[in-house]
Amino acid sequence: MSTTMPKQPRRKPQPTRRLSARFWANTIVIALAFIVVIVIVLVGRAQSASKQDAAPAVVRADSRILQKAPTDKVTVVEFLDFECEACGAAYPVVEQLREQYKDRVTFIARYFPIPSHKNAMNAAMAAEAAGRQGKFTEMYSKLFQTQTQWAERQDDQSTVLRSVAESLGLDMRQYDKDIADPTLRIRVMKDQTDGVQLGVAGTPTFFLNGEKLTLTSTEQFAAELEKAWRR
């Protein structure tokens, strides 16, 4: 005699539990995607800010001012090397234009020591050290006026440059301290780095209201300043 076992009732599916698991899985995926988007946006902003900070500037807040006009309508920036013979030749031209446009044009000097000039960095540092004592313009002029005494030498002319600084009545103890300060060299190199990024390949290189000039004569230089002033 056979015995038939009663059939067990089938369990019904549990849709609520399955839907709940799927819901949480989808929620996690969405949250992760949202986090990724936020990270991408933040990284993009950081990179953009970094690029802006690293962007070369024709004029910076700490740039050395030779002459300040009452308005900022016209600004001339010269990237120079105190040992450069061409810069020495341009010096009287700049002085003439400074006098001619003293009430209308701001003149700014920025350092661009050329590596092949053995004392260009030393001279730039001497000028910057003088600038820390409020006598940058005086040192700027004195370096060009005495250029033949120390330039184009293969040996270190720091002692001669120190004598030039001393002739201006600087506090020499402070001068020596500043020359030994690593931040002073960094300050000079910052100008040089900006110049390279701006396309400066030699000295002197002039910028007028942020635009690089190609000059052929003093008359043309004066005409460019006049044109900028009348705009």
Domains of the chain: 62-228 (3.40.30.10)
Please check the confidence at residue 201 and state whether its pLDDT lies above 70: yes
| Residue 35 pLDDT | 64
Note if the pTM is more than 0.85: no
Please check the confidence at residue 14 and state whether its pLDDT lies above 80: no
Q: How confident is the model at residue 20 (pLDDT cuts 50, 70, 90)?
A: low
Q: How confident is the model at residue 56 (pLDDT cuts 50, 70, 90)?
A: confident
86 vs 55, higher pLDDT: 86
Cα separation values, 102 from 15, 66, 70, 110, Å: 87, 10, 9, 19
Reported as a single tens digit per residue, the pLDDT across 71-84 is 999 999 999 999 99
Mean pLDDT for the chain overall: 87
